[in-house]
Structure 1
Amino acid sequence: MDSEVKKGCSFPTASQWMKTIWASIRLLLLGLLVLWIITPTSIYNRVWFPNIRAKTNSTYFGRQGTLILIYTVPVLLLAVLGCVYLHLEKKYGDNSIGSNGQTKLIRLAFLRARPMLVDGPLGIVTWTELAFFTMFIALLVWSYAVYLQVGLDYITSEIAEAKGEKLWQAQLDCAAVRLGVVGNVCLAFLFFPVTRGSSVLPLLGLTWEASIKYHIWVGHAAMILLTAHGLCYFVYWAATHQISQVIKWAKAGISNMAGELSLLSGLAMWMTSFPCIRRKKFELFFYTHQLYFLFLVFFVLHVGSVYSYVMLPGLYLFLVDRYLRFLQSRQHVKLVCARLLPCETIELNFSKSPGLTYAPTSIVFLNVPSISKLQWHPFTISSSSNMDPEKLSIIIGSEGSWSQRLYQMLSSPSPVDHLEVSIEGPYGPASTHFLRHDTIVMVSGGSGITPFISIIQEILSRSITSREKSPRVILIAVFKRSADLTMLELLLPVQGISSSFSYMQLQINAFVTKEKEPATKNQKLLETIWFKPHKEDTPLYPILGQNNWLWLGIIISSSFVIFLILLGILMHYYIYPIDHNTEKIYSHPLRALLNTLFLCICIAMTASAVVLWNKKQNAMEAKEIQNNDASMPMASLGPASHNVADCELETLPRQSLLQATKVYYGERPNLKKMLSECEGLSIGVLVCGPKKMRHDVAKICSSNPVGKLHFESISFNW
């Protein structure tokens, strides 16, 4: 009886909490969707919104309190719930190979696995992405049409004449205002895809790097609408002989000049973001895109603090993430060694905390001040945190000016014995959903093999530790020259492994397209350079500790609560005694600047406190790692000793790797035939390489009648 009573009074399990939180998240998402649909309607603007404003128009928040309650609070609550869910999923979720308990995150990721459009202007688009893209365009068209209809209903010839205008001029004014309102809707979604440590994207089965294209799509839509908004007003002012409005900076209401400065900043970013400039002149794109700060500041000054709260939720999460990235980038990470391949490819191996875990295909951003203090470049992690918990590896191909300078520094006759580097990240998927397939086919071109190295090492590590059946892995690697085949040796960690590839079903088909036979003359050997430790270098550790999702939720919630308290004090004791919520006396731009200042202070204060709280534990782990490194044999090799890979790698795994590899010279793979011959009820097809290769694989998967090919493109060609 006692056991039954205890059982009946037990606390909810982690699984029950996750189900409850997930139900709340779905309810919030549905509510936000309904909100955006009804916002332009007449009944919302004439009945519901005035009633809500009447009940929330207090002396503490004024008119902006209504928009904070409607637009900001639900999204931030969604982000906090997402943090708690991801924390529980990371701690209690089952991600082992062959597990039947698939989480909602994995199911959502599978929804995006079938391409629908391949050669269109949007690139490779799946059915789910096309559905959401269509819904977003429909939302914009719906919002503008309803806003315009409601606005035009109030405009008559008599009203236009009373203002000294013609009817078409008044209608143009109405249409221009609505273009700006709908452009603000785009800005509300613009910052979610570029928040690298987002807790919202994983809830939709998305990763940061895969969501960049959504940022591009939304950015194009926003700039088209905002540019049309500005042009319409220039025409309107010229037609009504009010060209002096161009330099108007109003104390109350809309500041035209601030809007024009914001638009100019946005146009500079927009013009340099097209592929013809972004890919050929990346530095121009990168530096110009830093104008987003001016764009945001002048936009807030243009519309005032009240209407900027529509955009605030996404911007708020972005600012939290951006400040955490700033704190992490101030640290110098310990670079242990570098491996130089004959194909002029570099593998960098960093020391990391065992508490820092990441999923395969995760990426980090790397900065080398001796090359450029401002440039940060993304690279895929090629190691597995399960196979080597104290090392993190990335692979860099010498394809651009930045990477070529790095290779020249390391390959010179007198290479550097210490390299100062900083890292932001890692960023990656919340779960390893590809492990649920029976067969995994990975198609790579050149350096596109990098993310697949981490996947193979992850599967190998889990196969060795769990002894469970792992998916069959088929790697189709396409290279131009035989020297590039040495990239396959990066499948083996820098210190080798104690077990062979016999624990997993691995098949490697390598194709060398530019050579018909192996090159044997003047072939370089793989070299390893060991770096001297430096007292200022620390192992890479999670900036928010091992419970990073939980700490992120605390930062978001606590900083916003503090922001509301400061905002209430400012309004109640300083602004309200002046304007009494009439918004006709106190300067709107000054109020917007004060709100923005409070926002940044609250984020910086809470994030810094959390980071300092975790820094002590990270420092203890770093000291233990340094002590372990000091006792390792590799330290005796010296700072810049060069060693052939054959002497470094263990014989057994290297033999297993060679046995699993078949090399074809002077030909390209018949991808359609190879994919059709794959066996399995569920086949994951991952591709990373040139655009044409990705499109060819997408076409094959989309035309597969059985539907067992689950396509996923890993692309960093933004």
Structure 2
Amino acid sequence: MKRSISSNSERGIINYVIRASIMAMVVIIFIGYIFIWFMTPTNLYRQNWLPLMRINANSTYFGNQGPVILVYTFPVLLVAIMGGFYLHLGAKNNHILQSENEKSKSRLRLGGAWKRPMVMKGLGIVSRIEFAFFFMFIVLLTWSLATYLHNSFVTITPNSLQKSGHKMWEEKLENAGLRLGLVGNIMLSFLFYPVTRGSSILPIIGLTSESSVKYHIWLGHLTLIFYTAHGICYIVYWAATNQSSEMLKWAKHDFSNLAGEIALLCGLAMWVTAIPRIRRKAFELFFYTHQLYALFVIFFVLHVGLAFPCIMLPGFSLFLVDRFLRFLQSRSSVRLVSARLLPCDVVQLDFSKTRGLNYNPTSIMFLNVSSISKIQWHPFTVASSSSLEPEKLSVIIKCDGNWSRKLFKTLSSQSLVDRLDVSVEGPYGPVSNRFLSHDSLIMVSGGSGITPFISIIRELIFLSETLKTPDILLIAIFKNSSDLTMLELILPSSGSPTIPSNFNLRIEAYVTRQKQPPPPGTLTKASVRTVYLKPAPSDAPIAPVLGPNGWLWLSVIICSSFVTFLIFMGIMTRYYIYPIDHNTNDIYSYTSRALLNMVLICASISLISSAAFYWNKKQLGRDTNQILNVEGATPMASPCFVVGAEERELESLPHESLLESTAVHYGERPDLKRILFERKERSIGVLASGPRQMRGDVARICSAGLEDNLHFESISFSW
């Protein structure tokens, strides 16, 4: 026994050293990558370094895009590959969770000041470290634009004006238009990282895809501002110099202006429909219009050739890998076994899953129900715990839109068929349980914002059997008393454990629009109902896309697809393009070269990703068959549609073990400032989920600096 413990400890130390070494290399590469971006606009880079790189990297196999791939693409993909190994080792190191918990507490205390929230108009809730990085990014853009303009304007001389026959302002406008486009390329290079859901880069810097959506929004605004200014400058320049015909130019060996205009129109369509007011009122219009990103990228590449797009290639290629894996996962229907319908128009869907699928609290999953819409996908919070419920995954849906209302109506109908055809993508979430690093947790929820907290509570209930978990205060704010039935979902519907004696949970529920409790029996009439479904034999349990070693397989896919692309591109360039133009770039069409390389990129990613996906699916077949056999012997659902008569009055909701921990207040709102400031624990995690204004109020209290023990985190799903 002692030898086993010693062996585990040694493996844990080796794992820690390897992960620390990987992280050190990632930091060094990242600093070098940012340094290159700062040097790119300078004459030193363009006149000295770039020619040297072209001599060494420009070859008959890769052409003029060789140096760009070496400098801008290779470092990022290397970081993504190392990130996969880093996360894989972290997943294998969970047995030393307790010691890591203590380390994270010390790190939290050291970095608490930088993580303190700031509420800023236009940016929303951001931490100080987020604002610092945002400020540095703005400095990079300002430096790049100023350096580009300075270096280009000094070349405009009376002699150059005499040769061109243009005025000074016209030449400056044309130069400014080109440089605005170059600076726009910087933002485009980072645009796709935040929306790569299965990214191996975001988790190593402590981010998740849902928390990074705001960065994508910021970058999207900046990208379209610069590209729009780029287009306007050229249109005004062409009009002033009587070159309006340039707008329809599709050059064979130069920039294709028409392709650039088409790309800009696609970008503007996405930009307009992404305005918050339009996105909220017409989400489907926003969602469908955003699919124009494919045309935007295609025509952008056709506009500038292939060398420039290689700058944005790493981010977009990682996005393509993730997007294709999501496509492969979504082709199969999953096993929906039951649904719980609440009188407050909330539904919990329960899916069957494999034991190899592990996820952390606050994860999300995207759903498609073909009977409602074949093309609409919607993200929802995962309420279950993969530890507490190893063979079930649950999501909670609040009926706020047309799609969710149709789903609720379909499940409520007595004439419903005995199954629903559901496809999923995910789940996606944090790679570690960060909530153990606090002494206590204060969760403030508004309405359906309680759903991510349900997954946290369930996970901590499981961990309380072996670890010391933080005390929990859940402040749940509802509009009506019927919303109190959402507390029913805190514990699983089947096999629900009682709350352990060492697990300290207190619930303060506030009903704001009712001053008195409802009459007895009101909630009995509006009962919580359970709908049992009969999945088809072809419906499969939800399983990890790339198996239990998903991060390792993701690194293999990124590395193999990039190498495959380089091989394909080298063969095509050496034996097809080079014999035609001998790297002169003035014989073979830019458009043809760009199209061929785009096909090669997509083919490489599709080939390698498909091979990895189906290999792991075959390996997971045994686990899936075992689950199906167990369900066949002891069915999780009745063989037909059934409405369960689970009628519980408010006093018995949600479970007897929760009754003693719950207090309901009518006609009032919580005094959040008093509640937060009266807590004196050494480290308090303050989590807010719900309406933007409520999250902003909590953030302002925590950012006041009156108490150093408050560590704020906003949980928002702004899709």
The bucket for the TM-score relative to the shorter chain is over 0.9
In the alignment, structure 1 residue 599 sits paired with structure 2 residue 601: yes
Q: Where does residue 326 of structure 1 map in the other structure?
A: 327
Q: Where does residue 581 of structure 2 map in the other structure?
A: 579
Contact 1:157-1:166 at 8 Å conserved across structures:
no
Contact 2:115-2:128 at 8 Å conserved across structures:
yes
Q: Distance in 1 between matches of 2:348 and 2:539?
A: 19
Q: Where does residue 381 of structure 1 map in the other structure?
A: 382
Cα deviation digits, residues 430-459 of structure 1 (max 9, x gap): 111121100100000000000000000000
Q: Where does residue 530 of structure 1 map in the other structure?
A: 532
Q: 1:422 to 1:471 in 2, by over 3 A?
A: same
Pairing 1:373-522 to 2, within 5 Å after superposition? 373-464=374-465, 466=466, 468-520=467-519, 522=522
Q: CA deviation at 1:111?
A: 6.0
Q: 1:325 to 1:222 in 2, by over 3 A?
A: same
TM-score, L = length of structure 2: 0.95
**SS state of the match for residue 474, structure 1?**
strand
Contact 1:112-1:129 at 8 Å conserved across structures:
no
Q: Where does residue 227 of structure 1 map in the other structure?
A: 228
**SS state of the match for residue 349, structure 1?**
strand
Pairing 1:242-281 to 2, within 5 Å after superposition? 242-281=243-282
Contact 1:333-1:539 at 8 Å conserved across structures:
yes
Q: Distance in 1 between matches of 2:96 and 2:121?
A: 36
Which amino acid in 1 is paired with 2:234? Y
Q: CA deviation at 1:503?
A: 3.3
Q: CA deviation at 1:501?
A: 4.1
**SS state of the match for residue 332, structure 1?**
coil
In the alignment, structure 1 residue 196 sits paired with structure 2 residue 197: yes
Q: CA deviation at 1:644?
A: 3.5
In the alignment, structure 1 residue 58 sits paired with structure 2 residue 59: yes
Q: 1:323 to 1:715 in 2, by over 3 A?
A: same
Contact 1:460-1:503 at 8 Å conserved across structures:
no
Q: Distance in 1 between matches of 2:703 and 2:234?
A: 46
Q: 1:190 to 1:619 in 2, by over 3 A?
A: same
Contact 1:75-1:313 at 8 Å conserved across structures:
yes
Q: Distance in 1 between matches of 2:401 and 2:464?
A: 37
Which amino acid in 1 is paired with 2:499? S
In the alignment, structure 1 residue 90 sits paired with structure 2 residue 91: yes
Contact 2:104-2:437 at 8 Å conserved across structures:
no
Q: CA deviation at 1:502?
A: 2.5
Contact 1:97-1:436 at 8 Å conserved across structures:
no
**SS state of the match for residue 643, structure 2?**
coil
Contact 2:120-2:126 at 8 Å conserved across structures:
no
Contact 2:472-2:506 at 8 Å conserved across structures:
yes
Cα deviation digits, residues 146-167 of structure 1 (max 9, x gap): 0111111211121022012122
Q: Distance in 2 between matches of 1:109 and 1:362?
A: 27
Q: 1:429 to 1:559 in 2, by over 3 A?
A: same
Q: CA deviation at 1:335?
A: 0.2
Q: Distance in 1 between matches of 2:124 and 2:582?
A: 53
Q: Distance in 2 between matches of 1:332 and 1:96?
A: 35
Q: Distance in 2 between matches of 1:111 and 1:329?
A: 40
Which amino acid in 1 is paired with 2:472? V
Q: 1:105 to 1:609 in 2, by over 3 A?
A: farther
Q: Distance in 2 between matches of 1:652 and 1:303?
A: 62
**SS state of the match for residue 380, structure 2?**
strand
Q: Distance in 2 between matches of 1:219 and 1:457?
A: 37
Q: Where does residue 337 of structure 1 map in the other structure?
A: 338
Contact 2:101-2:436 at 8 Å conserved across structures:
no
Contact 1:515-1:665 at 8 Å conserved across structures:
yes
Q: Where does residue 70 of structure 1 map in the other structure?
A: 71
Deviates more, 1:227-236 or 1:54-63: 54-63
- The total of aligned residue pairs comes to 706
Q: Structure 1: any 5+ residue segments left out of the alignment?
A: none
Contact 1:111-1:128 at 8 Å conserved across structures:
no
In the alignment, structure 1 residue 627 sits paired with structure 2 residue 626: no
Contact 2:105-2:437 at 8 Å conserved across structures:
no
Q: CA deviation at 1:121?
A: 1.3
Q: 1:327 to 1:102 in 2, by over 3 A?
A: farther
Which amino acid in 1 is paired with 2:312? M
Q: Distance in 2 between matches of 1:507 and 1:275?
A: 36
Q: Distance in 2 between matches of 1:116 and 1:697?
A: 10
Q: CA deviation at 1:685?
A: 0.4
Which amino acid in 1 is paired with 2:334? V
Q: Distance in 1 between matches of 2:107 and 2:494?
A: 33
Cα deviation digits, residues 38-85 of structure 1 (max 9, x gap): 111111111111111111111111111000000000000000000000
Q: Give the percent of matched residue pairs that are identical in Structure 1 and Structure 2.
A: 53
Q: 1:371 to 1:597 in 2, by over 3 A?
A: same
Q: Distance in 2 between matches of 1:613 and 1:345?
A: 38
Q: CA deviation at 1:13?
A: 2.1
Contact 1:105-1:203 at 8 Å conserved across structures:
no
Equivalent residue in structure 2 for 1:556, among 551, 555, 558: 558
Q: CA deviation at 1:646?
A: 6.2
Which amino acid in 1 is paired with 2:379? P
Q: Where does residue 541 of structure 1 map in the other structure?
A: 543
Pairing 1:154-193 to 2, within 5 Å after superposition? 154-193=155-194
Cα deviation digits, residues 339-390 of structure 1 (max 9, x gap): 0111111000000000000000000000001111111000010000000000
Deviates more, 1:194-203 or 1:610-619: 610-619
Q: Distance in 2 between matches of 1:438 and 1:179?
A: 50
Q: Distance in 2 between matches of 1:98 and 1:429?
A: 19
Q: Structure 2: any 5+ residue segments left out of the alignment?
A: none
